[in-house]
Amino acid sequence: MGRLENKIAVVTGATSGIGEAVSLMYVKEGAKVVCVGRNAEKGNELVKKIEAIGGEGSFVQCDLRKFEDIEKLKAAVDEKYDHVDILFNSAGVLVHKPFLEQNKEDFDLIMETNYRAYVWTMQAFIPGMVAAGKGSIINVASISSIWPELNSYFYGAMKAAVTNLSRNVAKEFARQGIRINCILPGPINTGMTPDFIKNSKEAQQGMIDTVCMVGRLGEPDDIAYPAVYLGSDESSFVTGTNIVVDGGVCISN
């Protein structure tokens, strides 16, 4: 029996990177997963991968920057399942520029995707968790929320907002059986890695050199493992906390 046997999970940002890795690992651990993203082609391909390993998954196309899309997502989940056990929020965008070059459009994009969407999805699914008397929400933040990182100013600020929001909402709903925690990834090898790093072996090595523990970039599965723990009953006494997964970046700088 898997660690998430028969649990229902909603995973945002599921069509790539961390969200895809979490969706697949959740299925391997026995969960039924609703995969959420904007790219229908990638979403349907993910469902095929899930079915290929004998799991149950579905895809809901959703732009989390639009409130009406989140309402449609909630309705689609309610039509398929009578409750949700896990909400894993990983949708995100990164604008990597010097501070004085970041503009209103950059700010709005990051705020709407990396913060406001988390607020709305939590508001959408918490009432059902309260009715069921249980639930786990896992929000993906970043070490940028606790550790200064050049050129990631709006990104880091919104990730810090996510960690603060999560702790405060965790306090409100703890006695109703809802656990809310954050995972703070460090340098993870995903599509969000800035192009100047992807295209430069020197820049890649420079990033790897910041990792004091393993001498490599993290992989999406490095985030999926703690996501399984936080979604499982093993973490039933854990709420309002941040789990840093960065290979030691924050302690080596």
Positions marked active-site: 155
Full strand arrangement of the beta sheet holding 57-61: 57-61, 32-37, 8-12, 86-89, 135-140, 178-185, 242-245
> Rounded CA gap, 193 and 190, in Å?
6
Neighbours of 249 (CB within 10 A): 21
Q: Which residues pair with 57 in a beta bridge?
A: 33
> Rounded CA gap, 92 and 51, in Å?
26
- Cα-to-chain-centroid distance, residue 186: 13
> Rounded CA gap, 84 and 97, in Å?
38
